[in-house]
Structure 1
Amino acid sequence: MKNLRVTLIGFLCLSSGTVSLAQEPVGSLNELLRDINGSLRLSVKEFNGTDLLSEQPFNKELLQTKTGNWSMQFKASPVSKHPGVMDVSTSFRLNSGVAKSSAVSVSFDFSKWNPENYVLVPASVYNGNRYRAIGNSYSPQYPKDMYYNPSVPLTISNNPRLSIESNKASLVELTTGNVATPALCFFSKKEQKGFVVLTEQMTRLGSSGLTITENAAKDSCSFSISAPAVRKMATGFGDFHISGDKAPDWNSGDEITLNFKVYVFNAANIPDLLKKFMQVRKALSGLNHPRNIIPMSKLFEVATNICKGNFVDVPAGSFYRPENNKNFQLGWVSGMMNTYPMLTLNDKKERDRVIAELDFVVNKLQGKSGYFYGGITAGGEIIPEKMSPDFKPIQAMVRKNADALLWLIKHMQLLKAQGYGKSVKPEWENATEKLAAAFVNTWNKDGEFGQYIVPETGEIAVYNSTAGAIVPAGLAMASDYFHNKEWMKVARDAAKFYYQRDVEKQGLTGGHCGDISQDADSESAFGFLESLMALYYYTGQKEWLNRAEVQAALGATWTFSYDPVFPPNSEIGKLKSNMAGAIWASIQNKHAAPGICTASGDYIFKLFRATGNPLYADLIRDIQHAHAEAVNMPGHLTTNNLIGSSMERIQLSDAEGKGSIGNFINTRNSWTETNGVLMALEIPGIYVNMNHKKLYVFDHVKAQVLSIDKSGITIQLKNETEYDASVSVLAETEKQARKPLSYTAFLRWPKVKVKTGGTIMIKVNPANGITML
């Protein structure tokens, strides 16, 4: 302990049960936290089961309890050239004695707290989850007051949350297994400051605890990180259950170290916090290590083979099954989305099947108002959605209708780009026009799109949420396709509305999934990014690009920023899968999944291309590689189902029980297979910036620049996977990159073949294309 006073930045001083750093030079953690009325508390907690018996804070480097003698070593050092950032390490050691059922904790205590502060825990808590909550189960039924009520408050499922009631204290208990990035964050509008603390997933004691405690007066709040997590209740899918957590017994010599990065920074608004988070979310965990295991071309092959085998002719009509039964579900989980890559096969049989499905959709599912019903049984009976028994008209998801508008136009664009424009039927165009007009009528009448609508009448049945996140994209595309300027104006106005109400003011988007309430979710976050990039594509206005950068940052909060450690005997653990890039579903459905539901995320690539910011390239590369880790292939079994199949569970949390952590489910989900095929289709395997002579690799190959001369760039490609690869290459100048990328640009990307274990060299020149060497 002789060197402790050299490394310690201030002793810890006890005052009224709170410990704060002593006055030290500017740049110490004490000074940093003072800007946000913060102080530090380091303590040892003793439990009886999950009941807290005592908390004993350190006020110096030593702590004497009734049964043992502890020491604490605290180090905090500024990060060079980055003011407002500190690397922090805190080591706790039991020098002598014993400590039964104990945990150690580092708490950031904030006085002068304001309940209007925006609180973020990535993939788990948005705006403190400080909203009305209903039910005590998965996808609870809506109460009567949520129907036909324009004033309905945003309503979530029974999730961990800060209270909306006055004079009621709050306790949010999570583990690092509940989050996409182990972090606790907030933004203070009053102080114009943001705070982010990053920590590690686990210590040798297991996953760490993340706890937020707010007093009844709501004027003080604590963010605590403990080793290990000891929660009274664990959160499930819209409910809670006894956690089963257990604090360990400590013996003499036992030691634990908690590492952090702490950021305090100027922030004018919630978007500033989101953008800061995206910049730093990997700062503590470091670079990811995506594995090259299945080329995108092979993934495309095996997944489209599954889709080929899933075409059915039933009394309702003819279509590719979107799920494992013969009922049809429009949009959301891949109905009339899995058809799109089938068109690109340029195979007459599959093209005819796609045409049959489009006929089926427009003839069987469109209501009188122009809106579509959300699903139909194999026998031809319309499937109602989220209906109360008190309200009889059949409802449908707004999100599914937004998907229908966007994908109808994408199909017609693709057929025309392929030279099959004569296959586009007037009935499809008429149905698409009616749907676009229905959205415009709703906007003009209600000033929003709602969450559920009545296809027969066009009425909004349930208001609020960001369920219409993709509508602006669909309307922008429809405006261009049908040459209707009014629709573009509505697209712009609606996008501004969602951005201001949901992103700027609440720091969340939600209500996009059919199995949640109006909970914050990743699908609306990425879906709204689709809309913002569509508006940039059609208008060329940078304001949409600026908003898209904020929205991408919000999407990043839902995405694993690091490779989490799974139990070694779990299915994911045995495969040693690196899951950075898996995307959490919603604050209700506490699991990650392989990819975006349901899209390629090509808009993230387009954002990278337009800005040159490699963080966006990293994001979409991570998403693609995490998806590949979940694909069932020989020697890499995940679903134990069809070759090329995948499913929606990448489970790090114990929401479904501790035994579920790291285990896949023996099933398949069409939507995860569809988004994988779309990624293989709409994202280039390699992107080359000719001006900077840089390349970025998205596919599962290795590539490096060998030489540069007047004739172009010579690149070496190496395929270390077990499968032959056909790699698409997009090479362009910065001038070319300034023009937004069209929706069918992938049809023009050249491909190069690299056999398994093979190495090839190519010369890239935008003027002359790709030359094999």
Structure 2
Amino acid sequence: MNIKLKLGSLSLLLFTVVGQLTAQNQTNEVNDFLKDLKGSFKPVLNEYKGTDLQSSQSIEKGILKLNGNDWKCSVTTSNAKPEVIDLKVAFQLQSESAKETAVVANFDFSQWDTKNYVMIPSIIYNGNRYRTIGNGYMPEYPKDMYYNPDAPLTFSNDPQLSPDPSKPSLIDLQTGNMATPAVCFYSPTLKKGFILLTEQQTRFGNSGISIRENADRSVASIQVSAPSVRKLRTGFGDFAPSGDKAADWKKGDEVTLNFKLYSFPANSIPDLLKKFMEVRKALTGANNPRNLVPMSKQFELGTGITSTRWVEVPVGKYYAPENGNDFQLGWVSGMMNTFPMLMLNDAKERERVGIEFDFIIDKLQGKSGYFYGGITAAGKIRPERQHADFPKVQAMVRKNCDALLWMTKHLMLYKELGYGKEIKPKWEEATKKLAQAFVNTWKKDGQFGQYIVPETGEVAVFNSTAGAIAPAGLAVASVYFGNKEFLEAAKASAAYYYKRDVEKQGLTTGHCGDISQDADSESCFGFLESLMALYNVTKDGQWLERAKVQAALCSSWAFSYDPIFPAQSQIGKNKSNMAGAIWASTQNKHAAPGICTASGDYLFKLYRATGDSKYAELIRDIQHANVEAMDMPDHRTTNHGIGTEMERIQLSDAEGKGTIGNFYNTRNSWCETNGVFMALELPGVYVQTDTNKLFVFDHVEAQWLKDNKVIILENKTTHDAKVAVFAETSKQAQTPMSYVAFAKWPKVEVKAGQKVIVNLNSDGTVKSVLKGDMGGKK
């Protein structure tokens, strides 16, 4: 008996020693991987009382007795390569119970520098290490931001690594706050990049991700915890008590944290961004976009809704947004929602588009050439960002960027559809005057600012990337009007914004009308529009290379995976796959169903120019997420009518835990416009007849039948489809496409439940269509 006891004790001792050695060896392997980053790893147990940390103990050796509780931790590495390693950290309670405990994977980085670029997708850019103002949504600008080109870039009260060395520096988030559960940094001193990818949830729900700098900023700690235990949750420009609670454990409970870690040479912020886009789905894997509603059906529903919003009010006639009869130019509605209405080729709607064109010129263009941002139904100009000490009426630069690009695109589409004679001289004169206003501002101020005075052309608020789309508008206008001065200003300003904002800071900012100068997705995608416009016009490869970097930055704003929403939420009940939803800004902490407000066809153009499918996959994901947010009879979201949409796809608790996954029965017409834009400006199916390239954007399936000239289209949805097929040769793909090329794409009818065989000519035109059947509509 004694011998057996001794043998049993010896076995237990050997097991414990082997376990400790194994855990230590695996930890050492992680540390070896991180050594070039001056990094180290350790698993940790944190005990809490509420959200107050009571103790924090390392469990590096594999076992730990903490306050009478026995814990075990196993560290497993795999697939180790020079630049990537997989890490699995499993924690298990071996005693009876433990209260309010969280498990943590801790990564420390010594030789830290505040010059390091830190990015957490969709919420932290350059550490958000900028001046902050206010304590809530859309704070008022202080007096020093007006007419002051030296005013610092200013954010709302967002999470940040503090720029003030006298204050604590901590970012404390949940995975629900970010488009990809990841932490990335670039060290200019070490010439290295680091990316940590993890998963959204464990069985405890969303995990926590935090970054803490020590007092002298020489060490930074990145922690991933399960569950998340934050003191404060971040809101829309403010903070509130989190309501978080650490987990209560019982014997045998186990939780595993999974990671992919990347350590790689990097000479710049763009190097980190490009690597991020390359690997952002590496841990979560490919997402699963669902085919729900064909793009042609979405176009039909969206334009139908816009048609019903034609109003005749005291100030004039126009298409109004969803929330009243006041007119707003650009950003989310005016002279944007008219574009697909023009494409309808319907005499009544075309007449309405012309009336709105007249309206904005007669009512909103200032003496400088810039436009005011909006006007009430009663005829009162709507001022933007006013300050009591500065009475001149201001307007958003971004709205004027939209106006220039879309007015020019309207003129081009009129001509493409054969209605060039209907273009009034004053439409062209007003568009040209607006382009000249941008040129004048560029020559005078060397930037476009964030807010301008339409009467005088003065920049009222400087800085930000609010002028992100201006180079696109100028480039397109330079072609339409044959004006070289427009193109030179486009090139110079795009180069300026790329170097100042993207290359040096890894962000773009201040594009939305309801934020401060926060980093935001709209300026990010808008600037990609400009870079691709310059490539389109100049054929200069430098713009294409910059566009690749910008697309990578854009990808950080889009869900890279299909997040888990509460099962009883509206999104949860619909079982929606939301990969591709676009987060709004570092202030407005929610995703939305699309790019506000654009089709993102520049991503398709980038795919076409490079052949790199990750750009096509990104815009395909965005399009499918938009449809997931659309109200349909068997897929209720807004309850405001079939085809309507709502902008907040909320995975975070920024608006309270009860808001996660719910739309709350409201709608935002820009989301509907965005869906219509994608249905119009993206092909349903793209093929190259001399290669095996085939990519599907529409809600159908497609495959080659033979010799790259015959494809099968299959529509498994419950709606009939008219699929735009854009086919060409690889040689043709080297020539940038027209901004109105979509007007000539052939449409192939594929009824619900039907297959068709499409026979293509060598030049990509449709030769014939043979219809099949899958049993009719479901």
State the TM-score, normalized to the length of structure 1: 0.96
Residue 492 of structure 2 is matched in structure 1 by 493
313-322 or 134-143, which deviates more: 313-322
Contact 2:21 2:61 in 1 (8 A): no
1:204-283 residue pairs with structure 2 within 5 A? 204-283=203-282
- Quote the Cα distance in structure 2 between the aligned partners of 1:694 and 1:356: 43
Q: Partner amino acid for 1:626?
A: A
SS of equivalent residue, structure 1 residue 312: strand
SS for the counterpart of 1:275 is: helix
Residue 716 of structure 1 aligns with which residue? 712
**Structure 1 residues 503 and 5 mapped into 2: Cα distance closer, same or farther (>3 Å)?**
farther
Corresponding residue of 1:732: 728
Q: Does 1:748 align with 2:744?
A: yes
The residue that corresponds to 2:157 in the other structure is 158
Match of 1:444 in 2: 443
Check whether the contact 2:369–2:436 (CA below 8 A) recurs between aligned residues: yes
Q: Give the distance between the partners of 1:377 and 1:329, measured in 2 at CA.
A: 9
Unaligned regions of 5+ residues in structure 1, if any? 14-19, 23-27
Give the aligned partner of residue 38 of structure 1.
39
1:767 CA drift (Å) = 2.7
Question: Is contact 2:27–2:75 with CA below 8 Å preserved after alignment?
Answer: no
1:25 is aligned to none
**Pairwise mapping of residues 555-566 of structure 1 onto structure 2 (< 5 A)?**
555-566=554-565
Residue in 2 aligned with 1:761? 757
The residue that corresponds to 1:394 in the other structure is: 393
Identity of aligned residues (%): 62
Q: Distance in 2 between matches of 1:6 and 1:531?
A: 59
Tell me the distance in 1 between the aligned counterparts of 2:571 and 2:16: 41
Matched position secondary structure for 1:290: coil
Letter in 2 for 1:219: S
The residue aligned with 1:610 is 609
Report how far residue 487 of structure 1 moved: 1.3
Residues in 1 aligned to 2:249 and 2:89: alpha-carbon distance in whole angstroms: 17
Q: Which letter does structure 2 place at the counterpart of 1:467?
A: A
Give 1:410 shift: 0.3
Contact 2:709–2:760 (CA under 8 A) maintained in structure 1: yes
C-alpha contact (below 8 Å) 1:12/1:58 kept by paired residues: no
- The amino acid across from 2:714 in the alignment is K
Distance 1:227 1:241 in 2: 21
Q: Secondary structure at the match of 1:55?
A: strand
Equivalent residue for 2:408?
409
CA distance in 2, matches of 1:109, 1:731: 52
Report the alpha carbon displacement of residue 5 of structure 1 after superposing the two structures with TM: 8.1
Residue 769 of structure 2 corresponds to which residue in structure 1?
A: 772
Using the alignment, how far apart are the partners of 1:568 and 1:270 within structure 2?
39
For the residue of structure 2 that corresponds to 1:96, the secondary structure is coil
Determine if contact 1:476/1:535 at 8 Å carries over to the other structure: yes
Q: Which residue of 1 aligns with 2:458?
A: 459
Task: Assess, with a 3 A threshold, how the Cα gap between structure 1 residues 758 and 97 changes in structure 2: closer, same or farther.
Answer: same
- Structure 2 counterparts to residues 685-700 of structure 1, below 5 A: 685-700=684-699
**SS, match of residue 487 in structure 2:** helix
Q: C-alpha separation between the residues in 2 aligned to 1:8 and 1:269? A: 40
Cα distance in 2 for partners of 1:614, 1:646 equals 28
Q: Structure 1 residues 699-708 or 615-624, which shifts more?
A: 699-708
* CA contact 1:44–1:55 (8 Å) conserved in 2: yes
Q: In 1, Cα distance between the equivalents of 2:577 and 2:156?
A: 31
Once the two structures are TM-superposed, the CA of residue 628 in structure 1 deviates from its matched residue by 0.3
CA contact (8 A) 1:536 1:544 kept: yes
Cα distance in 2 for partners of 1:587, 1:444 equals: 31
Q: Distance in 2 between matches of 1:473 and 1:282?
A: 30
- Which residue of structure 2 aligns with residue 67 of structure 1? 68
Q: Rate the CA distance shift 1:639–1:331 in 2: closer, same or farther, 3 A.
A: same
Matched letter for residue 717 of structure 2: T
Q: Which runs of 5+ in 2 are unaligned?
A: 1-11, 771-778
What amino acid is the match of 1:195?
Answer: F
TM superposition shift of 1:11: 4.2
Partners of 2:343 and 2:324 in 1: how far apart? 25
Mapped contact 2:681–2:742 kept (Cα < 8 A) = yes
CA RMSD across the alignment? 1.4
Do 1:167 and 1:218's aligned partners in 2 also have CA atoms closer than 8 Å? no
CA contact (8 A) 1:67 1:97 kept: no
> CA offset at residue 668 of structure 1?
1.6
Alignment of 1:560-575 (within 5 A): 560-575=559-574
Cα pair 1:310 1:321 within 8 Å, conserved: yes
Measure how far apart 1:457 and its partner are. 0.8
Whole-angstrom distance in 2 between the partners of 1:755 and 1:38: 58
| CA deviations over 1:367-415 (Å, ceiling 9, x no partner) | 1111100010000100000111111000000000000000100000000
Whether contact under 8 Å (2:591, 2:648) holds in the other structure is yes
Counterparts of 1:64 and 1:647 in 2: how far apart (Å)? 51
Instruction: Could you list the structure 1 runs, at least 4 aligned residues long, displaced by more than 3 angstroms after superposition.
Output: 1-13
Deviation, structure 1 residue 646: 0.4
User: Counterparts of 1:9 and 1:271 in 2: how far apart (Å)?
Assistant: 40
Q: How does 1:194-593 map to 2 (within 5 A)?
A: 194-593=193-592
Given that residues 520 and 586 in structure 1 are in contact (C-alpha distance below 8 angstroms), is that contact kept between their aligned partners in structure 2? yes
Q: Which residue of 2 aligns with 1:179?
A: 178
1:480 deviates by 1.1
- Look up the match of 1:17: none
**8 Å CA contact retained: 1:639, 1:645:** yes
User: Partner of 1:731: helix, strand, or coil?
Assistant: strand
Secondary structure of the structure 2 residue equivalent to 1:687: strand
Contact residue 23 and residue 74 of structure 2 kept, 8 A:
no
State the partner residue of 2:77.
Answer: 76
Q: Does 1:101 align with 2:96?
A: no
User: Match of 2:457, SS?
Assistant: coil
Secondary structure of the equivalent of 1:400? helix
Conserved? CA contact 1:322–1:338, under 8 Å:
no
Q: Is the 8 A contact 2:31 2:40 kept in 1?
A: yes
| Superposition deviation, residue 667 in structure 1 | 1.7
Query: Partners in 2 of 1:606 and 1:683 — Cα distance?
Result: 10
Offset of residue 689 of structure 1? 1.9
Structure 2: distance between partners of 1:212 and 1:689: 47
Q: Distance in 2 between matches of 1:4 and 1:193?
A: 38
Report the counterpart of residue 623 of structure 2 in structure 1: 624
- Could you give the per-residue CA deviations for residues 165-190 of structure 1, whole angstroms, max 9, x where no partner exists? 12332111100000000000100001
| Structure 2 length-normalised TM | 0.96
Q: Distance in 1 between matches of 2:736 and 2:236?
A: 40
SS at match of 1:101: strand
**1:665: which partner in 2?**
664
Q: Distance in 2 between matches of 1:429 and 1:636?
A: 43
Distance 1:170 1:104 in 2: 22
The 3-state SS of whatever aligns with 1:35 is helix
Report the CA distance shift for 1:590/1:311 in structure 2 as closer, same or farther (over 3 A). same
